[in-house]
Structure 1
């Protein structure tokens, strides 16, 4: 996360209630506020397999009867927006969130049956269906505390390397997800290398925030944006690259394949929690070392994560041929979204991932879900192929280990042993539940101002249209889809997903 403005085995049985919306159906473990009933007159699935699901604040995942597709009118002003089935864009790899130690601790506070329901809500076929998730290499700000896999000073041979810490939390969390989603892809990045590999010898880069306990950092150990905190001699760079390889190998022994790594989370940000500042030139020196080790284990190297809206930071890395040849994609988060346009224009061959949804301040409210929708939309419109939420689960209050309250998809009352699916959960599910890996983004064009939607064409030919009505009054938008039209009456302040099977589009 970034401080301030810069900032298979299918559990269909456990998900029976989620099929019509877990909160709406009164799923065990849900708060009363999320149990609004689904009107019987508005089925979730209509004739021919078409579906329409709508969410407004406090009433998620409501089934609606989808209007029949009609003929195209001769009046050009009768169509609000045109879904360009003939002009597909990038291929979508998937959706997911971040595994964390505190997230697993929260889930473990639930009775086993409710924990299964929460996991199924995230990974099950009748939940979000997450298939593409993130995990930290060592400690991050949602860890139980600071640790790395080798804190023995000068251990260049990594004789003391161990992932023992992760066997209590991160590994069982990922394995639980794999039981529901055997095709799960996992990518990873560190927040800080072992302290002995850093110039200042401390896991953090900044003092604790006001009101928080001291992290013990001294003025001589502080990091600074634009300066390398990592020791850039070849011996240390090579050891750190082997550190990544040992991590990938040890996780593989636990049955977890790490598909992709990024060298550093938010490499510009000096934080009071685990962090490490790098210059673009420092990363350009490290990436070839990293790529050589990752080639040995079949793991890709992406650049990231970029948390600044300055494309020059990436250009300076790509100016080094060995680093540029190793980079297969780029992860972007927080203010990095301001660089999305130039990134897509200058580097069209690189995969572009939304690597972290902004975490909010623990309110888990509809206003922030609304902001999240606009952020997700921005990423996909600029060519993103992956979207990654941040905390999949947190205890109520959602406090990080270093004093930042956090939003999450699943909010756990650890005292009562219950959980609530937050507003962000329904936002993400409106996309992830129906947009399949291999789907293509389909542009939607409008000259009448109807620009608040995303459309995708699944591999089976079905169309997924996610449409927002952000205003406080009903709005009917007529979409042209091929040689048919769909007039969609949208509730005020609503988010809607429409699924039209391929045979209805023929």
Structure 2
């Protein structure tokens, strides 16, 4: 089979959801025994390559080293990578046969594939729900007598259960897009008029809201009821064998949207957080601040200045323009754990260009100390349209009519970082005074090294990495992402 046909074969397998296992091979002379290398270009995903043997480093080749993997200075401990369980994702996957759905889910969660370990799920409806719902829409039900997760038994719970069949130790965190509508000042789930061509929600002019205002009713009885609402949610999921390990009080608390949303001020969140912390302590669930979608670190600093609120917060979730706040958060709050909570959604283009943009974002988050990074939609139907009119990217695209599915370039980017970086790995600096710094490295607990090497150039690029006093010289294909796994024995 020639190279061109081989690439077509790989793409055909990707489109059908077939991933051939990597056959074990004996070490060739001049290659590194026990090492792995997978490379992805726009038209050739996950190509296996041979890893050259490490060469001894010596003063004569010191200035020939392009980048140094600094094993002596491990950084943040990694919590995991994953995506979000959304209702429309399960609706899309449900159009497949059980066997095909199982195969699609395997690409995300099987340990020999993307091996996702930390995922997000919504508390009630989000913009990729089938429609608006909360777990208690009975006005004035402060005792939560009508609380019910019945809706989730149709979609989110089977979605998560299918993932757990591959990954029983899957970690989950959750956040709401909107509280029950009766807990909000406008009495409505959305906060803005529809976009042109978007869903007509029936929201009145006097029900719209704005950034910088508290739209949750700022009274203790509402704070108390809402905190217990979180507690009931965690408890009901726990009864099903689904542990919610972390919650965040509000998705994008500065954004008034034409779908489920609720704006808060930092002061309003600071008032609520002690109530939430009290209830989450009862169920053993951590509280993170977020999700922060603005590049303004003062929004977090104001909350952390409140001692009662700060005592509750164990970390911060950052997404979208919040990435601009990362340097300040990392500099001034080095003990606060950072999670990248949502890939920027795209417009259903699902192309290589956007995957390349995703790499730039991911690299920024890890460089500034993020210990987790989650994609957004795990799966969507063709067109990727939300119920409120925004087409977005996904890792898996399902054609409901043809009952087929395919993987997108975003999937391969996620797999490059998630497949071999184990929970508990340490991020390792990759230093270069020559500009060869567009790489990431991680050291697993078993001593193996995972090097994610990027080549954004339009031609092949030779890079010499200094590793453990040795030299790894690799020829990175043009416009490629590469995952290299070096066994602990090679670094001794």
TM range (shorter): over 0.9
Shift of 1:39: 13
Structure 2 residue 48 is the aligned partner of structure 1 residue 82: no
Which residue of structure 2 aligns with residue 69 of structure 1? 54
1:69·1:486 contact (CA, 8 Å) conserved in 2? Answer: yes
User: In 2, Cα distance between the equivalents of 1:39 and 1:281?
Assistant: 56
Shift of 1:66: 1.0
What is the SS of the residue equivalent to 2:193? coil
Residues 42 and 70 of structure 1: CA distance in aligned 2, closer, same or farther (over 3 Å): same
Which residue of structure 1 aligns with residue 318 of structure 2? 332
Residues 296 and 41 of structure 1: CA distance in aligned 2, closer, same or farther (over 3 Å): closer
Which residue of structure 2 aligns with residue 429 of structure 1? 415
**Per-residue CA distance 1:360-413 (angstroms, 9 max, x = gap):** 000110000000001000000000000100001111111111111110001111
Which residue of structure 2 aligns with residue 350 of structure 1? 336
Shift of 1:447: 1.1
Shift of 1:346: 1.2
Which residue of structure 2 aligns with residue 314 of structure 1? 300
Which residue of structure 2 aligns with residue 417 of structure 1? 403
Residue in structure 2 matching 1:444, options 430, 440, 456: 430
User: In 1, Cα distance between the equivalents of 2:238 and 2:286?
Assistant: 15
User: In 2, Cα distance between the equivalents of 1:260 and 1:65?
Assistant: 40
Matches within 5 A, 1:489-504: 489-504=475-490
TM-score, scaled relative to structure 2:
0.95
Which residue of structure 1 aligns with residue 242 of structure 2? 256
Structure 2 residue 131 is the aligned partner of structure 1 residue 131: no
Matches within 5 A, 1:214-233: 214-233=200-219
Name structure 2 gaps, 5 residues minimum.
Answer: 1-5
User: In 1, Cα distance between the equivalents of 2:198 and 2:324?
Assistant: 31
Residue in structure 2 matching 1:49, options 34, 54, 77: 34
Residues 129 and 405 of structure 1: CA distance in aligned 2, closer, same or farther (over 3 Å): same
1:185·1:257 contact (CA, 8 Å) conserved in 2? Answer: yes
User: In 1, Cα distance between the equivalents of 2:346 and 2:289?
Assistant: 25
User: In 2, Cα distance between the equivalents of 1:43 and 1:145?
Assistant: 55
User: In 2, Cα distance between the equivalents of 1:328 and 1:343?
Assistant: 13
Structure 2 residue 225 is the aligned partner of structure 1 residue 239: yes
Residue in structure 2 matching 1:210, options 166, 179, 196: 196
Which residue of structure 2 aligns with residue 393 of structure 1? 379
User: In 1, Cα distance between the equivalents of 2:97 and 2:64?
Assistant: 54
2:303·2:309 contact (CA, 8 Å) conserved in 1? Answer: yes
Name structure 1 gaps, 5 residues minimum.
Answer: 1-19
2:11·2:43 contact (CA, 8 Å) conserved in 1? Answer: no
What is the SS of the residue equivalent to 1:24? helix
What is the SS of the residue equivalent to 2:370? coil
Structure 2 residue 450 is the aligned partner of structure 1 residue 464: yes
Which residue of structure 2 aligns with residue 30 of structure 1? 16
2:250·2:291 contact (CA, 8 Å) conserved in 1? Answer: yes
**Per-residue CA distance 1:72-106 (angstroms, 9 max, x = gap):** 14233210001101111010010110001000011
Shift of 1:43: 10
User: In 2, Cα distance between the equivalents of 1:111 and 1:165?
Assistant: 23
What is the SS of the residue equivalent to 1:182? coil
Which residue of structure 1 aligns with residue 266 of structure 2? 280
Residue in structure 1 matching 2:256, options 246, 250, 270: 270
User: In 1, Cα distance between the equivalents of 2:56 and 2:393?
Assistant: 44
Q: Cα RMSD (Å) of the superposition?
A: 2.3
Residues 394 and 252 of structure 1: CA distance in aligned 2, closer, same or farther (over 3 Å): same
1:23·1:30 contact (CA, 8 Å) conserved in 2? Answer: no
**Per-residue CA distance 1:179-238 (angstroms, 9 max, x = gap):** 110101110000000000000011001000001231111111111100000001111110
Structure 2 residue 82 is the aligned partner of structure 1 residue 96: yes
1:82·1:444 contact (CA, 8 Å) conserved in 2? Answer: yes
User: In 2, Cα distance between the equivalents of 1:426 and 1:297?
Assistant: 36
1:409·1:421 contact (CA, 8 Å) conserved in 2? Answer: yes
Matches within 5 A, 1:112-131: 112-131=98-117
Which residue of structure 2 aligns with residue 59 of structure 1? 44
User: In 1, Cα distance between the equivalents of 2:27 and 2:353?
Assistant: 27
Q: Runs of 4 or more off by more than 2 Å in structure 1?
A: 20-29, 34-44
Residues 166 and 35 of structure 1: CA distance in aligned 2, closer, same or farther (over 3 Å): closer
Which residue of structure 1 aligns with residue 3 of structure 2? none
User: In 2, Cα distance between the equivalents of 1:473 and 1:91?
Assistant: 34
